[in-house]
Amino acid sequence: MKVGAVIITMGNRPDELRALLDSIAKQDGDPVQVVVVGNGSPVPDVPEGVRTIELPENLGIPGGRNVGIEAFGPSGRDVDVLLFLDDDGLLAHHDTAELCRQAFEADPKLGIVSFRIADPDTGVTQRRHVPRLRASDPLRSSRVTTFLGGANAVRTQVFAEVGGLPDEFFYAHEETDLAWRALDAGWMIDYRSDMVLYHPTTAPSRHAVYHRMVARNRVWLARRNLPAPLVPVYLGVWMLLTLLRRPSRPALKAWFGGFREGWTTPCGPRRPMKWRTVWRLTRLGRPPVI
């Protein structure tokens, strides 16, 4: 299987980017083809053989990654699998690409693999980085219903069948949107604890737009993908959970602003998942109301 990698960067972490590229170059098996996308910024110096694309404006995470996908031909068809890695991450082991090849070759219905993210100093995996409800044991691999955006591998046939990431999301929940569409098309998603990306421990709220984008995109996610009866249930449960976390007043104001924006702005095409997909998500441990 041919493996490629897409990395988007704002150009502000040149040392971390170089370390990531070095870890990709050290992967076992055939070389991994790499494209680095400068998302509205110049790309720092990269090793010979690494392709670069510099976008005149920041298209957001999904938009930048979609440009990287198309750099490998329509829907990435020039390769069989694409890795998506954060530019401040680092592949912990030399066999990750080879493990991806083996996983996709062994399971023809496997569409996406979510890696385990671990802190490089402590080795700890944050609970939010385990893409399932039962997240107490990050070392347990399993089938899941979503994946981590900056540490994953996707079979390019998935993009050919269901399309790319939703450009309009800009940041937050674009992975779940793709995951739900892939699952609805019959693909499966695995969380693999043995495929590790080292990444410094951070809080998602470090991004200034976090609360607004998370709220807006959650509404868009439901409007685009859920059967009509589940939309108010899903958003009602999510609103309750948000309030129970007792965010600060400014955060709550931004959240409600994003929630309102999610209902009053276009969300892209609506393609509600089949009820059998709802049942599949439920059997996998995460019904699409949580």
Taking only the tens place, the pLDDT of each residue in 251-289 is 999 999 999 999 999 999 999 999 999 999 999 999 999
Contacts of 181 (CB under 8 A, 6+ apart): 162, 163, 225, 271, 273
Residue 109 predicted with pLDDT over 70: yes
The DSSP output letter for 270 is -
Widest distance between CA atoms in the chain: 53
- Looking at residue 97, its pLDDT comes to 98
Average pLDDT over all residues of the chain: 96
Q: What is the pTM of this model?
A: 0.96
Per-residue tokens: 160: 């050919």
The helix (run of H) or strand (run of E) holding residue 124 is none
Band of residue 208 on the pLDDT scale cut at 50, 70, 90? low
State the average pLDDT over residues 219-237.
Answer: 98
% of the chain with per-residue pLDDT over 90: 94
Domain 3-198 has CATH 3.90.550.10: yes
Is the CB of residue 176 less than 8 Å from the CB of residue 144? no
| Predicted pLDDT of residue 201 | 87
How far apart are the C-alpha atoms of 133 and 147, rounded to whole Å?
Answer: 12
Q: Are 203 and 159 a contacting pair, CB within 8 Å?
A: no
> Is residue 2 scored above 90 in pLDDT?
yes
> Quick one: the chain helix, strand, coil %, rounded to 5?
40, 20, 40
User: What number is the average pLDDT over the span 228-234?
Assistant: 98
